[in-house]
């Protein structure tokens, strides 16, 4: 139940942030927002190519028979898809600039953190090497967190 609730909250917040709800919301240069969105899309695509087909799961639970991905962006962070989502939605906040979007972005950060914690518990139980991998790899932001 909790994994499905977190996924639903994640997608609702992404829509709330990235959909233009009113005319004239843009306050930041389009280039800065576009750069953040492009970086997020590139990171997400890189993460998908580093993970074999069928290994990826939107729910914070490992797939049965899944392998531990540690190459590509997974070499630098344990959750590159969450980092990609945060970059893309950061672009949405920069593009539209409204205060409530920034609050939604903070809420999304909390939801993704909760998903990461839940996923890491399951990954530790599912993959014997996960604890060592987690000890040497940051969660979402390389070299920081």
Count of domains observed in the chain: 1
Residue with tokens 């939605």: 89
pLDDT digits (tens, 9 = 90+) for 24-49: 665 555 788 899 999 999 999 999 99
- Mean pLDDT across 47-69: 81
Kindly state whether residue 145 falls inside one of the protein's structural domains. no
144 in a domain, yes or no? no
Q: Which is more confidently placed, 124 or 97?
A: 124
9 found inside a domain: yes
Classify residue 63 by its DSSP letter: P
pLDDT of residue 98: 81
Specify which of 14-28, 57-71, 75-89, 91-105 reaches the highest per-range mean pLDDT: 75-89
Which residue range forms the structural domain that includes residue 106? 2-15+28-55+68-136
Give the 3-state DSSP-derived string for 88-124, with helices as H, strands as E and coil as C. HHHHHHHHHCCHHHHHHHHHHHHHHHHHHHHHHHHHH
What pLDDT score was predicted for residue 82?
96
CA 142 to chain centre: 13
pTM comes to 0.90
């Amino acid at each position: 139940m909790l994994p499905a609730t977190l996924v639903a909250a994640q997608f609702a917040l992404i829509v709330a942030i990235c959909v233009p709800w009113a005319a004239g919301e843009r306050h930041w240069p389009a280039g800065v927002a576009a750069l953040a969105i492009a970086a997020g899309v590139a990171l997400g695509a890189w993460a998908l190519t580093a993970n074999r087909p069928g290994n990826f799961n939107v729910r914070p639970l490992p797939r049965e028979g899944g392998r531990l991905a540690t190459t590509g962006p997974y070499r630098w962070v344990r959750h590159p898809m969450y980092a990609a989502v945060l970059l893309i939605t950061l672009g949405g906040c920069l593009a539209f600039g409204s205060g409530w979007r920034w609050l939604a972005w903070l809420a999304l950060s909390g939801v993704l953190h909760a998903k990461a914690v839940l996923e890491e518990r399951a990954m530790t139980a599912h993959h014997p090497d996960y604890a060592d991998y987690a000890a040497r790899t940051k969660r979402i932001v390389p070299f920081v967190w």
